[in-house]
Amino acid sequence: MRQDVDPKQQPTLNRLTANVPPYAWFCVSAVFHYLGPSLAVLLFPAAGVLGIAWFRIASAALVFAPLTKPWRTLGQAEPATRGLLLSLGACLAAMNTAFYLALDKLPMSLVAAMEFTATLLVALYGLRTPRNLFAVGLAIAGVWLLIDVRWATSPVGLFWSAINAALFAVYIILGHRVSQTGADAGIKRLGAAMFIAFVFVTPVGAAQAVTIFANPLLVLAGIGVGICSSVIPYVCDQLAMSRIPRASFALMLALLPAFATVIAAIVLAQIPTSRDLAGVALVMAGIAMHRPR
């Protein structure tokens, strides 16, 4: 017979996630999903695309290290768990690098559209009812209205964007597996995976990153990219994933274009058109109609 656990005896993060709706964590993640890359693009001329990718992962690993003690997590993990963390770390390193290489050649809207296509496949995999299929259809229609999907003139950019989209779907799958032990253990494992990602990305981007070490302001900006792009959103993803089925989380990612519309209106004064608002409404309707298993 299962014994109920006293909430006071649960890890702090598990208690926190139990008291906060998982969708709130997702909303925080969605906001920083666009704020972080916006700052990163501004730094490309100073440190290079690969250098900023290194700063993103290195600064995130630095923040996670004293809080999650990745060396202890890896040392105590079973072989299967260690393999999962190794896979997630490699995915994070490759995904973030491909994402920035794509942003260097393509508009963010097109990269986001391709990213959503891959996550949609994850959501479709978890579908069990016609109602959920209709919900995904609404979300697709909303995203189609929100984003003017068009072919770009950069085959290289399209290549990296496709790689990023595929790896983003892999991140959802692996991240959800990591989160199944609870938010507290999930974030400790995330810290270990980020340390592994740092090992993978260092040979690729460190050479460009060191070119701005003599400029403290640029170094601080690079650290800010890591915190905004890889600490806050990934932690919030774990807090949400620990309580949301994988397919539901994948479908919720359809909200990202809606958040992009709102952020653009506030930060860049890009007022949404009636078509944009209709797209947001359809995406919201799809999320509301979707019923997890």
Q: Per-residue pLDDT tens for 65-124?
A: 888 888 888 888 888 889 999 999 999 999 999 999 988 887 776 777 677 666 666 766
Check: CB of residue 57 under 8 Å from CB of residue 93. yes
Tokens representing 36? 């972080």
Q: Per-residue pLDDT tens for 206-243?
A: 999 888 888 888 889 888 888 888 888 888 877 877 77
Q: What is the mean pLDDT of the chain?
A: 79
- Considering the chain, what percentage of its residues have pLDDT values greater than 70? 76
Angstrom CA distances, 207 to 105, 156, 180, 203, stand at: 21, 22, 37, 8
Please give the pLDDT value at position 1: 38
- CB within 8 A of 193, min separation 6: which ones? 85, 88, 89, 92, 178
Q: Helix and strand tally (H, E) in the chain?
A: 14, 0
Q: CB atoms < 10 A from the CB of 175, how many?
A: 23
- What are the two backbone dihedrals, phi and then psi, of residue 292, each rounded to the nearest 5 degrees? -70, 165
Residue 5, pLDDT > 60, answer: no
What does the DSSP 8-state code read for residue 238? H
Residue 173, pLDDT > 60, answer: yes
Angle in degrees, CA 21, 135, 143, rounded to 5: 90
Residue 3, pLDDT > 90, answer: no
